Structure 1
Amino acid sequence: MAGPLTSLKVLDFSTLLPGPYATMLLADMGADVLRVEAPDRVDLIRVMPPHDAGVSTAHGFLNRGKKSLTLNLKEEGSADKVLELVKDFDIVIEQFRPGVMGRLGIGYEALKAVNPSLIYCSITGYGQTGPYKDRAGHDINYLSLAGVSSHCGRADSGPPPMGIQIADVAGGSHHAVMGILAAVIHRQQTGEGQFVDVSMTDAAFALNAMSGAACLAGGQEQKPESSLLNGGSFYDYYQTSDGRWLSVGSLEPQFSARLCDTLGIADLKSDALSQKPEHRQRLKAALKERVASKTLAEWQEIFAGQDACVEPVLTISEAAEHPQLKAREMVIGVDRGDGTQQRQIGFPIKFEKTPSETSRIGKMPGADNEQFL
């Protein structure tokens, strides 16, 4: 395996999306990941449609490059097997509710006793502390409690269900990888392992960034369509004559001037720079009318040579064929295990010295039992 993390070994007890996405990123960067699954309780990701050559596409992607071990953690003797296994691993990642791993005899304290330098990362909805620590939840709940949903969507229709799992992936997965790698650096300096507590709600709350800063320090609560970047200005989506959408992000003066010139509404250039709601709405109305006069393909041709921060809203299949994403190798072929390849999303970070690569799609449960048991 290539990648900058080839020296790290990860024992993965996670399921569904957040943990497996995090360990996929680690595997893509070269870490040796062993995934531990229950033999009699199938991870829903494994059966989620659609399927490719009999394998769930979600499983093939999320568990690529990993080894698979099946072990009933509730069975007598399983804890002893894990305690023996973990001696050879650097990192443990799990996604159970607080206290579950401890009750199984393989919590952080038990594992640390046999491997003092172990980095143990727990991903949960609400973290290891607080009144909600044992409460069930999903992505939509974490975004709601974190305040993210309150300022997304339209003023007259409320927050939309997001097309991607923001709290799960941008919150849980990415913050878990960040925390783990920070702990690795600390261990290199001190020899100490540690517990890393990742709450998807905490991480989602942190994603509020500028709107959060405006609220907490400035006393300005952001609402849908109230600010520069959430629909309160001409920075928005506009429907074309063929029912597609065009994104307009021409905020800076040079871009907004180019936008107005290209659309033939040069007399509204000053509206793009105005803070007055009536000016903003006048420009939005003009943009809506002009964009609706042509097809998406026509607008793509018109703006192809214009550096104006205007781009088409593409489907995933269209994005996969876009020359920019193709040039960045963001669609790759991954071995199915039989010599054929499955198309998958590529790794988004490009390393000069240690480029990432992946060996194969997610394996069948217990494919590596013989090696580890």
Structure 2
Amino acid sequence: MTTEQLPLSGVRVLDLSTLLPGPVATLFLAEAGADVVKLERPGRGDEMRSYEPRFGEASANYAILNRHKRAFAVDLKDPAQRDRALELAAEADVVVEQFRPGVADRLGLGYEAVSSANSRVVYCSINGYGSAGPYATRAGHDLNYLAESGLLGVVVDRRGSPTLPVSVLADIAAGAYPAVVNILLALRQVEATGRGAHVEVAMTSNLQVLGYGYFATHQVDGNWPVPGGELLTGGSPRYQIYPTADGRHIACAALEDKFWRRLTEIVGLDEELLDDAGQEQRVIAALAEIFSARHSDFWRDLLSSEDVCTSVVATWEESVAAGLVQVDGPDRVSLPGAADRSFATLPSPLAPALRRAPAIVSYPELADLPDGSPWA
């Protein structure tokens, strides 16, 4: 498939965002063929450029999130440069911004200003708490959104304390992905009606999707989740993390009876504990004792041939060696060829995920905005 045949070929995206949610969203669009122009502050550019480890003059994180884009330095507080940015927005199909609510308007780059110059524009605002209410202008990061949404407290350690999440869930699952989905829906609306749209993505509110089961339960019986006490948060022996003798861990997800019965049979759990209802903590303790008696290699060999939804928690190296996660080495820095892409069955907007995690590729150097349009 050539670049011209990609689904978003010809779509122009003006990216005013920084750090993670917006840049991930525009990366997805770029991978699908959109032409993304990213505006960054003069000098330092996007804060992500300063992160470690380094890849050339910028950070590896910035490089992998901003490949396929072009970056230009613009001081949006300078009226003349702001006007240039507004001219670009007037030429764009999509504008993505990630300022706190009200900031883009004060800069003269809010939806009203842009849509008055470009009625077909899809304008996407990504923020933490929405554009109204007492939280609207509050600063925050991923951990704050998880904390404020109630999700952070549903899984706790032995002391009853919440644990750090495995990744930036709000930024990606409640920010970048909803932004991409709604941008694509809005582009379809433009095709059908000729009218653009203002899409607002409030990450804390969008986290409700991840807590669907807790809200469903509350609507039925009025109860909220008990920290560490629900089926998927530590209250069941069937969905639990167990330590092994060598300091590794077992991830048990034997929820269904057929998996649970086979697991308890092969590990030698007492029959009186097979029915775990009402004695969950006793069963958890018994399984913890069984798994902690042997090394992870023993459990890996035993469990790998069984259909029990239970496995050893892998290291990154083990996952790569098993072929479950595929990465390119640091010596491969060229962009993946368009011929390697296929959108026949696309499980993710991130096209290279069809084959492997992409190599760190050449990233956009921060250049002065040309006199003419970069899209000319």
Q: TM-score when scaled to structure 2?
A: 0.87
Residue 270 and residue 163 in structure 1: after superposition, are their counterparts in 2 closer, same or farther (change >3 A)?
closer
Structure 1 match to 2:203: 200
1:310, distance to aligned residue in structure 2 (A): 0.8
Return the match for 1:352 from 338, 344, 350.
344
Matches of 1:25 and 1:300, distance apart in 2: 36
Q: Confirm or deny: 8 A CA contact 2:45 2:73 kept in the other structure.
A: no
Structure 2 match to 1:6: 9
* Partner SS state of residue 92, structure 1: strand
Residue 371 and residue 249 in structure 1: after superposition, are their counterparts in 2 closer, same or farther (change >3 A)?
farther
What amino acid sits opposite 1:300 in the alignment? R
Structure 1 match to 2:355: none
- Does residue 88 (structure 1) correspond to residue 83 (structure 2)? The answer is no
Q: Confirm or deny: 8 A CA contact 1:124 1:198 kept in the other structure.
A: yes
Structure 2 match to 1:100: 103
Structure 1 residues 167-196: Cα deviation after superposition (integer angstroms, max 9, x where no partner):
111111111112111211222221110101
Structure 1 residues 304-363: Cα deviation after superposition (integer angstroms, max 9, x where no partner):
11111012212334323332334xxxx3469xxxx942899xxxx973278935894422
Structure 2 match to 1:51: 54
Aligned length: 357
- The gaps in structure 1 that reach 5 residues or longer are none
Matches of 2:371 and 2:59, distance apart in 1: 24
* Partner SS state of residue 11, structure 1: strand
Matches of 1:256 and 1:95, distance apart in 2: 46
* Partner SS state of residue 68, structure 1: strand
1:266, distance to aligned residue in structure 2 (A): 5.8
What amino acid sits opposite 1:286 in the alignment? A
1:370, distance to aligned residue in structure 2 (A): 7.2
- State, as a whole percentage, how many aligned pairs show the same letter: 36
Structure 2 match to 1:36: 39
Structure 1 residues 232-268: Cα deviation after superposition (integer angstroms, max 9, x where no partner):
0011111111111110000111101111122122625
What amino acid sits opposite 1:352 in the alignment? A
* Partner SS state of residue 7, structure 2: coil
Residue 311 and residue 125 in structure 1: after superposition, are their counterparts in 2 closer, same or farther (change >3 A)?
same
1:142, distance to aligned residue in structure 2 (A): 1.1
Structure 2 match to 1:275: 277
Matches of 1:297 and 1:207, distance apart in 2: 33
What amino acid sits opposite 1:117 in the alignment? R
Structure 2 match to 1:365: 366
Residue 285 and residue 175 in structure 1: after superposition, are their counterparts in 2 closer, same or farther (change >3 A)?
same
Residue 13 and residue 333 in structure 1: after superposition, are their counterparts in 2 closer, same or farther (change >3 A)?
farther
Superposed, 1:135-150 pairs within 5 Å as 135-150=138-153
What amino acid sits opposite 1:87 in the alignment? A
Structure 1 match to 2:129: 126
Matches of 1:126 and 1:350, distance apart in 2: 36
1:103, distance to aligned residue in structure 2 (A): 1.5
The ranges of structure 1 where at least 4 consecutive aligned residues each deviate by more than 6 angstroms after the TM superposition are none
What amino acid sits opposite 1:185 in the alignment? R
- Does residue 160 (structure 1) correspond to residue 163 (structure 2)? The answer is yes
What amino acid sits opposite 2:364 in the alignment? K
1:115, distance to aligned residue in structure 2 (A): 1.0
Matches of 1:295 and 1:368, distance apart in 2: 59
Residue 191 and residue 268 in structure 1: after superposition, are their counterparts in 2 closer, same or farther (change >3 A)?
farther
1:52, distance to aligned residue in structure 2 (A): 3.1
Matches of 2:257 and 2:334, distance apart in 1: 45
Structure 2 match to 1:248: 252
1:160, distance to aligned residue in structure 2 (A): 1.1
Structure 1 residues 205-237: Cα deviation after superposition (integer angstroms, max 9, x where no partner):
332111121124431210222111110001111
Return the match for 2:190 from 175, 187, 191.
187
Q: TM-score when scaled to structure 1?
A: 0.88
* Partner SS state of residue 27, structure 1: helix
What amino acid sits opposite 1:161 in the alignment? L
Q: Confirm or deny: 8 A CA contact 1:240 1:292 kept in the other structure.
A: yes
Matches of 1:316 and 1:67, distance apart in 2: 32
Residue 261 and residue 98 in structure 1: after superposition, are their counterparts in 2 closer, same or farther (change >3 A)?
same
Q: Confirm or deny: 8 A CA contact 2:154 2:162 kept in the other structure.
A: yes
* Partner SS state of residue 35, structure 1: strand
What amino acid sits opposite 1:294 in the alignment? R
**Aligned-CA RMSD value:** 2.6
Residue 350 and residue 244 in structure 1: after superposition, are their counterparts in 2 closer, same or farther (change >3 A)?
farther
Residue 341 and residue 370 in structure 1: after superposition, are their counterparts in 2 closer, same or farther (change >3 A)?
farther
Structure 1 match to 2:268: 264
Q: Confirm or deny: 8 A CA contact 2:335 2:362 kept in the other structure.
A: no
1:55, distance to aligned residue in structure 2 (A): 3.3
